[in-house]
């Protein structure tokens, strides 16, 4: 494996913290008196979800799914499959999906369809970041933190080739494409 270029900071940890706090405030207001299930989309969402739930003033149930949409490197293959499905029923439940980034939208389109078939009472999407310049499938992001430019994003859970998930800031790396 070759060397990776040095990531440059796009959003600092302080800017991320502010975005997470703002999102949590909205979610606290909207889900007051409800008992939602938060479903994190592995792997990338694990850092964001860990921070987000610690800002919630209710105690959410937490589940995880894992969808696979990328090969190695930076290009989406355009195919999605569920590689770790839900282990708990969500019929009649308020469901909030938590993801780290919406890029082409294919993962979320597929995943939301998968979850909708399980007949939740409500189904919403919270994504820390959005890269609208790459969208191939229309997606409504009910709770959005930060919009990112058309650069390769890493850090705060997001990888490049399984690297850089541990960076505390949201960064970009210069790539050929
Ligand atoms: C990333 C991210 C989203 C998806 C977005 O996950 O977490 O789920 O890609 O891309 P899309 O909008 O083009 O579908 P990835 O498949 O890279 O897996 P990972 O979270 O395990 O790194």
* Closest ligand 1 atom to 109 CA: 14
User: What pLDDT was estimated at residue 72?
Assistant: 40
- Tens place of pLDDT per residue across the chain (177 aa): 456 789 999 999 999 999 999 999 999 999 999 999 999 999 999 999 999 999 999 999 999 999 987 554 445 556 889 999 998 999 999 999 999 999 999 999 999 999 999 999 999 999 999 999 999 999 999 999 999 999 999 999 999 999 999 999 999 998 765
- Using DSSP, state whether 174 is helix, strand or coil: coil
User: What pLDDT was estimated at residue 68?
Assistant: 87
* Closest ligand 1 atom to 165 CA: 22
Q: Which of 94, 99, 100, 103 is catalytic?
A: 103
Distance CA 22, CA 20 (A): 5
User: What pLDDT was estimated at residue 120?
Assistant: 98
Structure tokens at 138: 């229309």
Distance CA 163, CA 160 (A): 5
With a 6 Å cutoff on the Cβ, whether 94 touches ligand 1 is: no
Pocket test for ligand 1, best of 48, 67, 69 (most atoms within 8 A of CB): 69
User: What pLDDT was estimated at residue 79?
Assistant: 80
Burial of 155: CB neighbours in 10 Å, binned 0-12, 13-18, 19+: buried
């Amino acid at each position: 494996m070759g060397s990776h270029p040095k990531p440059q900071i796009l959003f600092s940890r302080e800017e991320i913290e502010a975005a997470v706090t703002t999102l949590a405030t909205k979610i606290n207001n909207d889900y007051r008196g409800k008992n939602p299930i938060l479903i994190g989309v592995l792997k990338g969402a694990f850092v964001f979800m860990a921070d987000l739930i610690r800002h919630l003033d209710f105690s959410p149930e937490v589940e995880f799914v894992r969808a696979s949409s990328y090969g190695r490197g930076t290009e989406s293959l355009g195919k999605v499959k569920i590689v770790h499905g839900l282990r708990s029923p969500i019929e009649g439940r308020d469901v909030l999906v938590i993801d780290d980034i919406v890029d082409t939208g294919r993962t979320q389109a597929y995943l939301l369809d998968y979850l909708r078939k399980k007949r939740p009472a409500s189904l919403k999407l919270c994504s820390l970041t959005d890269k609208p310049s790459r969208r191939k499938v229309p997606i409504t992001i009910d709770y959005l933190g930060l919009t990112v430019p058309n650069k390769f994003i890493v850090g705060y859970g997001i990888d490049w080739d399984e690297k850089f998930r541990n960076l505390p800031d949201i960064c970009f790396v210069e790539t050929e494409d």
